[in-house]
Amino acid sequence: MYRCRDCGYASLQWFGRCPQCGRWDTFTEFSEKRAGAQTISTPQALPEIPLEETQRCPTQIAEFDRVIGGGLIPGSVLLVGGEPGIGKSTLLLQVAAQLAQHGPVLYISGEESPGQIKLRAERLAIKETNNLLIVHEQNLSAIRDHVLQTRASAVIIDSIQTVFPEGEGVGLGTTYQVGQATFELSQLARAQKIPIFLIGHITKSGEFAGPKAIEHLVDIALYIEGGRESDVRIVRAVKDRFGSTEEIGVFQMTESGLVEIANPSKFFTERIGPVPPGSVIVPTLEGTRPILVEIQALVAFTRSNYPQRRATGLDLNRVALLLAVIEKHLGAQISGEDIYVNVAGGLTLRETAIDLGVAAAVVSSFKERPIDGQTVVVGELGLSGEVRRVKKLRERLTEAAKLGYKRAVVPAGEKFDMMGMEICAVRTIREAMEALGV
Ligand code: TYD
Ligand code: MG
């Protein structure tokens, strides 16, 4: 048979151009042993199927365990994706060191030499143990042998893009290669009842197949996110076959590896000295987790015909819309001003519940009136200047109360008591700015 090196399309006939992916000169000959129907499966009635208890083994890295639903499930495959340099190898070497306390852990690198990994381990001050085994290997059948011989209780593959599956003529970094390697490794995980971690690089060019191409094959898919200027790293689950994908883990990349940020709200809102104009604390929601963050705005007069509009950690289109709402419904003449809006600490916020906070920051900077440092602001803004309700308001305010905030400006509609906190319900952007004194 012939198979396309890129997409894996197989046919008895040779093609100059692959009918599936359209690439030229990718067809190579291969032979396949016909396996036939080996296992005879029998359908079972639902009540006859025993409930399988899933035992989770925690990694003892709390922020990581939170994202994977409490701990690792034997036989599962976890994908850890992220851009090159974000900290995938660092995180997984730290996880490997934790797991090595309970049994042999095999770290298979197709990218770095054992010497390089040793250097990283030194930097991370990892407790050296004979249970942490490192090997440089790219060949899948050799990887399988290593896993069986070492009786590894957990395996890390760094990265899936460097694993050669069986069969000749498979192009490295192609969709077919990563798919086939993932499929075979997940069978190995199931057979050995061990967790296998796959690192996957996100590449900007479409040339290489990234982690997206194998998300459907794995049990849990995580991504490490973080800005170039920031040392904050968010681990986010986008898929979890065993639980929710709502949780995030927050880390900071330091000189000695990733350090958990156990109290992100405190971390993202730490302010020194008096509160300047343009700074607002917003209780945002990351998955199901309320996190307080500081939004900063700088509004400065410019003589330019083209005033600047910049946003870091926020969607610039949304900011533009909010600026229009401010101009129209508060009558603030901000169109001739340079406006910069920024989420402190390097987080990226996607929800509309922060609208009112962004608007308050802009107005506060424009009028050069600071907003009280004990107040939090939350609410979505509609085009007619109305403040709309947000989900999980109670959870957001509970987090704010926990950190000692005394007052909250929130959308009108829900009635409840918050111990020790003054709730200020507003209907419009105008009411909100009055309540905030800006
Ligand atoms: P790395 O884990 O190699 O990234 P990836 O595997 O995702 O490509 O880490 C990348 C960056 O992290 C690198 O620029 C160096 C930095 N780093 C630290 O700041 N502190 C550390 O302790 C380590 C190990 C790396
Ligand atoms: Mg790496």
- Phi/psi class of residue 93: alpha, beta or left (left: φ > 0; alpha: ψ in -120 to 50)? alpha
Q: Given a cut of 80, is residue 53 above it in pLDDT? A: no
Same domain, 256 and 271: no
Residues 349/232, Cβ–Cβ less than 8 Å: no
Q: What pLDDT, on the 0 to 100 scale, is given for residue 41?
A: 85
Q: What pLDDT, on the 0 to 100 scale, is given for residue 27?
A: 87
The CATH code of the domain that includes 106 is 3.40.50.300
The one-letter amino acid at 189 = A
97 confidence band (pLDDT: 50, 70, 90): very high
Q: Given a cut of 90, is residue 243 above it in pLDDT? A: no
172 confidence band (pLDDT: 50, 70, 90): confident
Residues 300/337, Cβ–Cβ less than 8 Å: yes
Q: What pLDDT, on the 0 to 100 scale, is given for residue 79?
A: 96
Q: What pLDDT, on the 0 to 100 scale, is given for residue 327?
A: 96
Same domain, 183 and 156: yes
Is there a domain that residue 28 lies in?
Answer: no
Is there a domain that residue 4 lies in?
Answer: no
Q: Please identify, among 222, 245, 260, the residue that sits at the C-terminal boundary of a domain.
A: 260
Same domain, 396 and 302: yes
Q: What pLDDT, on the 0 to 100 scale, is given for residue 262?
A: 87
Cα 428 from Cα 388, distance rounded (Å): 9
| Ligand number nearest to the C-alpha of 81 | 1
Q: Given a cut of 60, is residue 194 above it in pLDDT? A: yes
Same domain, 319 and 430: yes
Closest C-alpha residue for ligand 1 atom 13: 85
Work out the burial of residue 140: count CB atoms within 10 Å of its CB; fewer than 13 is exposed, 13-18 middle, 19 or more buried: buried
Same domain, 79 and 165: yes
Same domain, 173 and 319: no
Strand partners, 299: 339
Identify the three-state secondary structure at position 268: helix
Q: Given a cut of 90, is residue 261 above it in pLDDT? A: yes
Cα 327 from Cα 241, distance rounded (Å): 46
Residues in Cβ contact with 154 at an 8 Å cutoff, skipping those fewer than 6 apart: 72, 96, 99, 103, 105, 106, 194, 195, 196, 197
Radius of gyration in angstroms for the set of CA atoms belonging to the chain, rounded to a whole number: 26
Is there a domain that residue 320 lies in?
Answer: yes
206 Cα: distance to centroid of ligand 1 (angstroms): 24
Same domain, 223 and 298: no
Same domain, 249 and 168: yes
Q: What is the pLDDT of residues 354-374, one digit of tens each?
A: 999 999 999 999 999 999 999
Is there a domain that residue 330 lies in?
Answer: yes
Same domain, 165 and 247: yes
Cα 395 from Cα 397, distance rounded (Å): 5
Q: Given a cut of 70, is residue 38 above it in pLDDT? A: no
Helix count and strand count (H, E) for the chain: 10, 21
Contacts 24+ apart (CB under 8 A), 390-394: 390/351, 390/352, 390/353, 391/285, 391/353, 392/285, 392/288, 392/290
Instruction: Supply the mean pLDDT for the chain.
Output: 91
Is there a domain that residue 25 lies in?
Answer: no
User: Would the CB of 84 count as within 6 Å of ligand 1?
Assistant: yes
Q: What pLDDT, on the 0 to 100 scale, is given for residue 287?
A: 80
Is there a domain that residue 190 lies in?
Answer: yes
Q: What pLDDT, on the 0 to 100 scale, is given for residue 401?
A: 94
Residues 153/194, Cβ–Cβ less than 8 Å: yes
The number of folded domains in the chain is: 2
Ordered alpha helix ranges (H), 22-99? 62-67, 88-99
Same domain, 198 and 78: yes
89 Cα: distance to centroid of ligand 1 (angstroms): 7
Nearest atom in ligand 1 to the alpha carbon of residue 253 is 19
**Mean predicted confidence (pLDDT) in 98-104:** 95
Determine the angle formed by the axes of helices 429-436 and 355-367, rounding to 10 degrees: 60
70 Cα: distance to centroid of ligand 2 (angstroms): 25
Same domain, 170 and 82: yes
Q: What is the pLDDT of residues 289-336, one digit of tens each?
A: 899 999 999 999 999 999 999 999 999 999 999 999 999 999 999 999
Q: What pLDDT, on the 0 to 100 scale, is given for residue 316?
A: 97
Q: Please identify, among 237, 260, 283, the residue that sits at the C-terminal boundary of a domain.
A: 260
Cα 282 from Cα 377, distance rounded (Å): 5
55 confidence band (pLDDT: 50, 70, 90): confident
Q: What is the pLDDT of residues 104-151, one digit of tens each?
A: 999 999 999 999 999 999 999 998 899 999 999 999 999 999 999 999
User: Would the CB of 82 count as within 6 Å of ligand 1?
Assistant: yes
Q: Nearest-CA neighbor of 80 among 139, 149, 155?
A: 155
Output 306 or 229, whichever has higher pLDDT: 306
Residues 63/252, Cβ–Cβ less than 8 Å: no
Cα 174 from Cα 176, distance rounded (Å): 5
Q: Nearest-CA neighbor of 400 among 409, 391, 389?
A: 409
Nearest atom in ligand 1 to the alpha carbon of residue 257 is 22
Task: Give, as one character, the DSSP assignment of residue 56.
Answer: P
The CATH code of the domain that includes 317 is 3.30.230.10
User: Would the CB of 122 count as within 6 Å of ligand 1?
Assistant: no
Quote the domain boundaries for residue 119.
56-260
Contacts 24+ apart (CB under 8 A), 430-433: 430/329, 430/330, 430/385, 431/387, 432/356, 432/359, 432/360, 432/377, 432/379, 432/387, 433/330, 433/359, 433/360, 433/363
Output 29 or 400, whichever has higher pLDDT: 400
Terminal Cα distance for the chain, rounded: 73
Is there a domain that residue 428 lies in?
Answer: yes
| Ligand number nearest to the C-alpha of 253 | 1
Is there a domain that residue 117 lies in?
Answer: yes
Same domain, 306 and 393: yes
86, 188, 203, 313 from 225: Cα distances, Å: 7, 29, 14, 12
Q: Given a cut of 80, is residue 228 above it in pLDDT? A: no
Q: Please identify, among 196, 230, 260, the residue that sits at the C-terminal boundary of a domain.
A: 260
